[in-house]
Structure 1
Amino acid sequence: MIRREDIRATQRDRAEPALSFRPGDLVRARVVNVVGSTSCGYASTSLPDAAQCCPEVGSVVTSARAVAASVLSSSCVTSATVSGATYLLSTAEPELGVVVGIGRPPLSGTTAIYGATGGCPLLPASWTEMVCPRTMARFPRKVARVPDDLLNVLASSTLPQPLTSS
């Protein structure tokens, strides 16, 4: 859970959650507090197998696993189970925010919630916008300042592969 006052370091009262994150976005955040169960579990182990998902979701699952593997776990995160805990998160640092946004195809029935894209993951365009690489449509987000090496891993695993005709 990300509270409004934990979205930005400045202008906390003016932060709009709907313009910062959308359901399904891959967010890099700092755990402020963990409330709930204390048995062991890891977030990356609760993700579905990428091969069992549609190509768009599978690429996002692969990216999420890459991010989880690149982030060092802390004792407060590894001591809480995914299903029985509530995580209070903060993105109030420049390095924190949306890493990869989730795009939806225009006819998926979720256009009003997510916005229509080419059905592929959104990539960072600026610190306040993400762009669909197929349609070039721009969407507001609180974008994380992602290190170049991690961005290269994400881009190589999330960009849609060109269609080839046989």
Structure 2
Amino acid sequence: MAIVTPGERLGLNGEFIASHGTVEIGDHIYAAVVGTVTTTPSESDGERLIIQVVPKSKRNMAASIPEVSSIVTGKVLRVNPRMATLSIMVVGETPCADNFQGVIRVQDVRATERDKVQIYNSFRPGDIVRAEVISLGDSRSYYLSTAKNELGVILATSPAGATMIPISWEEMVCPKTKVVENRKCAKPVDA
């Protein structure tokens, strides 16, 4: 399976039948998109193979769509008293092909003392959060949870512009100003 770029000659019309991601010009077939060349036998013409170029962005797309129980990493866009809204950037270790949104509802922030959770004391806009997909949610967003120890804020920036350091499971400190802020911190994952 060779990677090709637009304009690369793939073969002759007499040898192949042009399909998706290809273009016929004269007697030759050329790649029309960046991707991988694949050939399959033709059912109608037993002598020629069907040639196509599968776009590079489409090959890993299935792996980068959030599913129930997958771990995602996202950036907090906004918070309100009921939920934090995230832009999902990574599913597992694969960057997302599209823009997905997720919400962490107040009852899904932690496993214990759910009635005492305040979203603004757990997340702030701009925080990078590791969460688990618990439901496909509605048409606008996935439902996420940070109720496990290894889930929560993994990167936060203080008002002074420094990367904050977790000092407990619910607090982070700015190394410049020594100001302590509340967050639902993620336990570091051992590599």
Instruction: Please report the TM-score for the alignment, with normalisation by the length of structure 2.
Output: 0.43
Higher strand share: 2
Structure of higher RCO (CA pairs closer than 8 Å, 6+ residues apart): 1
Instruction: Please report the TM-score for the alignment, with normalisation by the length of structure 1.
Output: 0.49
